[in-house]
Amino acid sequence: MTVMAAWKQNLRLAARTASVSWPGIAQLRQRLYQARFRAGRYHCGNSGRYDSFQAAERALPAGLAGFDHTAMADIDHYTTMAGGFEPMPATEYPVLLWLRGALDDGARTLLDLGGYVGHAFRQYDRYLAFPDEFRWTVFDLPHITQAGQALSARHPTPRLRFTNTVDDGCGMDILLAAGSLQYLPENYLHERLNAWRKRPRHVIVQRTPLHMRQSFVTIQSVITRTGQVSFCPYSVAARARFIDGLLVLGYELVDSWEKARRLDVPFHPECHVETYSGLYFRLRS
């Protein structure tokens, strides 16, 4: 290492140390980040740590909140791509594997919890060729399901349906939660399953951040393709508690896998999540 390179390295180290030890520097950095975050400068950026989903809701910056508005229902993104939908990512193949097994087990109904405009159905159908009697029901917010129905009008199929009533999942064979649980309170899935007289035999959780030690909620900013910014609570459950909650309901954990995606909350290093989780549960006989 040259003298100049060593000097620059020491200068960077001193700067990092100063940001912690010099009075006011850390607070200034946090205020600058908060100002940029609230101005919508970060897509999928995170801010703050909160003890509950409701506390994060109360702390949302001014502007659009959540996903129930037209800015978040961008079906043109899907219809303008070649073939209408993106190629299957490699990390989705465990879901294909367990969906195939559920179909072979006789499953014919599925609730897609927070399934947006039904894009997962169209992706998986390419590989699994769902039978004519199969019914895939997307539960989501009204603006989103309206967009999904509009997309289905362009590409009709009787196998895909939409609902704004999550309890329509009672009695279905499969529940899929792919990238949606983090936008719901921590115990939402467990509470719904507990309330249902007949629970789905198969539960597949995909692309979900789970922390190895603790639960917390942060706030995420999402920049839409039209440039609008929406803020929403972003929930991270403690992994062991999340799994144990499903075991208590009569499920067994059959498989788990990871997606290479990190979660960081600036100024809260204790909230770091190294990878997102996939899990497959089956109801014990």
Which pLDDT score, from 0 to 100, does residue 85 have? 57
2 shares a domain with 141: no
Q: Which residues of the chain have pLDDT under 50?
A: 11-20, 80-83
Give the domain extent around 6. 1-38
140 shares a domain with 28: no
Which pLDDT score, from 0 to 100, does residue 16 have? 45
pLDDT tens, position by position, 170-193: 999 999 999 999 999 999 999 999
Quick check: 46 and 268 in contact, CB under 8 A? no
SS3 content of the chain, % helix, strand, coil (to 5): 40, 25, 35
145 shares a domain with 238: yes
49 shares a domain with 28: no
pTM: 0.88
Which pLDDT score, from 0 to 100, does residue 279 have? 98
How many structural domains comprise the chain? Answer: 2
190 shares a domain with 102: yes
pLDDT tens, position by position, 43-94: 889 999 999 999 999 999 988 888 888 877 765 555 544 345 567 888 999 9
Alpha-carbon distance of 120 to 176, in angstroms, equals: 10
Which pLDDT score, from 0 to 100, does residue 2 have? 59
Quick check: 180 and 206 in contact, CB under 8 A? no
Alpha-carbon distance of 78 to 85, in angstroms, equals: 6
Quick check: 108 and 136 in contact, CB under 8 A? no
Q: How far is the CA of 140 from the CAs of 116, 200, 279, in angstroms?
A: 6, 18, 21
